[in-house]
Structure 1
Amino acid sequence: MNCLRSILAAGLASLVLFPAPVRAQKTGEAPGVQGSKNIRSMKEIRDEGVVKQRWDVSCGAAALSTLLTYDFKDDTPETSIVVWLLHRVDAKRVRSRGGFSLLDLKHFSEARGYHAEAFSGMSIEDLALEKTSVIVPIREKGFDHFVVVKGFVAGHVILGDPGFGNVTMRVDRFQTLWKDGIVFVVHPPDDRMIGEKRLPVAARLVPDESLISRKIGVTAPSNYLY
């Protein structure tokens, strides 16, 4: 699947963010001396709990790596997924269709001991009921991209975007991009691997996608529901 490589817009510095306190940790301080505070940068907030894609065609692998690594605590590098798949999927085919399909991701997940399945026609309410993060395809201006839906806050969807990092999007805006209500769900072999759904610590400070521009890559396959 083609991946929309996300970049900051020139005006990102003027982001209007959701109001929320930033937790600051005081460093050691001597009596009578005001201690400095370690404030997390926007980049740290943006990259928390997201595996960033290394190649234009690897958004699906990076999304799956994000889900396995951070939801199930199963450290699975993007590179290991890509290498495994390229031993089983023709590289020319991957390039021609713009990336890996959901069927490819399903094969990797199940070889690792998970059960994976894709559904279409799902609703926002269905997404909100999921116990773990899920992978969904979005389409904008005719180009496709895999992102991880992490949860919802203040009328926005929290997305783990392999091309950018954590980003928020208005629910109504997300619904216009979400392709056919498709959801890719991965179930662990042991339900004890499912913990509390973890949103980024500073979810309300994640940048809004309306202030982010996207650089479009190559075309993607039209059918990838398996």
Structure 2
Amino acid sequence: MLSKVTIILMFATIGFGTGVAEAQRYTTHGRSVVRDPNFTFQKPVESWRERKTKHVVMQQRDYSCGAAALATLLRYYWGHNVNENMVLGVIENMLTDEELLERSSEGLTMADLESAAVKMGYKASVGEIKFSKLVESKVPVILVINLGGVNHFVVLRDIVGNCAFLADPLRGNTRVSTTTLQRTWVKNAILVVAPGDETQSYRSQMGVTAAERSEGYLNRQVIRRQITGVGTNR
């Protein structure tokens, strides 16, 4: 059964010569130049890895995906200066030495993250909902998915059509089918976190972009990785 804060959050309303010199100047500042007799177009240069991890707090420890997921939500949705170490510090002060040892091998729990968020001054609620209600969520929420037999925390950014967009502390920005999400989602559990009485953020950097929605865009990234090996584990 979801608490009042969860219900509110779920439904509240993201040539050469001078030409070369100029191109070098723009490249130095992180911009590339496309030359045409009629116009000059400048576009920020962003690597595949930068796109993959953009607005995601990547986990730094084997067991810290939960802390990184909470930090991602607080930092990139609510706009607060929170990192993984800050969340872990709060959790370490909450638990006994025996509990910390257990978490280092088994990972954090939803209850740990909920308690940490409350300790940090946020409202937080853990609940279970049907997938049909998850689709209607207007805010990012934290989920646990089964990833290769291991429970793993992610932030669900949004569901668009048959695709679920995740901010994954291990894999970065990831898109999976809704079928896959339903199959791997553990116990239909969610964690909703909000500061005070806010129900929606106007500082969010977690909205799904038009490029991410484009299947062709994502397919090109897959092909590029297959051809160049960029972004693959060796």
Normalization by structure 1: what TM-score?
0.71
Summarize deviations over 1:119-138 as a string: whole Å, max 9, x none: 12x22321222221100011
Larger displacement relative to structure 2 (59-68 or 154-163): 154-163
Partner of 2:61: 55
The equivalent position to 1:160 in structure 2, one of 147, 167, 178, is: 167
Tell me: CA distance 1:48–1:32, structure 2 relative to 1, closer, same or farther (3 Å). Answer: same
**Inter-partner Cα distance in structure 1 for 2:43 and 2:159:** 29
Structure 1 window deviating more from structure 2 (99-108 vs 73-82): it is: 99-108
Gaps of 5+ in 1: 1-24, 215-226
CA distance in 1, matches of 2:148, 2:110: 21
Q: Structure 1 residues 37, 67: closer, same or farther in 2, change over 3 A?
A: closer
TM-superposed CA distance for 1:33, in Å, is 8.8
RMSD of equivalent CA atoms: 3.2
Gaps of 5+ in 2: 1-30
**Match of 2:79?**
73
Q: What is the Cα deviation at residue 193 of structure 1?
A: 5.7
Higher relative contact order (CA 8 A, sep 6+): 1
Answer 1 or 2: which has greater helix percent. 2
Identity among equivalent positions (%) equals: 27
Question: Which among 192, 212, 223 is matched to residue 203 of structure 1?
Answer: 212
Q: Bigger shift: 190-199 or 56-65?
A: 190-199
Asked if structure 2 preserves the Cα contact closer than 8 Å seen for 1:118 and 1:184, the reply is yes
Aligned position for 2:143: 136
Aligned positions of 1:119-130 closer than 5 A? 119-120=127-128, 122-130=129-137
- In 1, the alpha carbon distance for the partners of 2:184 and 2:170 equals 16
**Match in the other structure for 1:21:** none
Q: Who is 1:46 aligned against? A: 52
Given that 1:138 and 1:179 are in contact with CA atoms closer than 8 Å, whether structure 2 keeps it comes out as yes
**Cα–Cα, structure 1 residues 33 and 175, in superposed 2: closer, same or farther, change >3 Å?**
closer
Q: Is the 8 A contact 2:52 2:172 kept in 1?
A: yes
Instruction: Flag the structure with larger Rg.
Output: 2
Shift of 1:196: 7.7
* TM-score, normalisation: structure 2: 0.69
**2:96 aligned with 1:90, yes or no?**
yes
Whole-angstrom distance in 1 between the partners of 2:33 and 2:232: 37
Which of 173, 185, 197 is residue 192 of structure 2 equivalent to? 185
Q: 1:151 aligns with which of 133, 145, 158?
A: 158
| Residues paired across the two proteins, number | 188
Change over 3 Å in CA distance of 1:103–1:192 after alignment to 2? closer
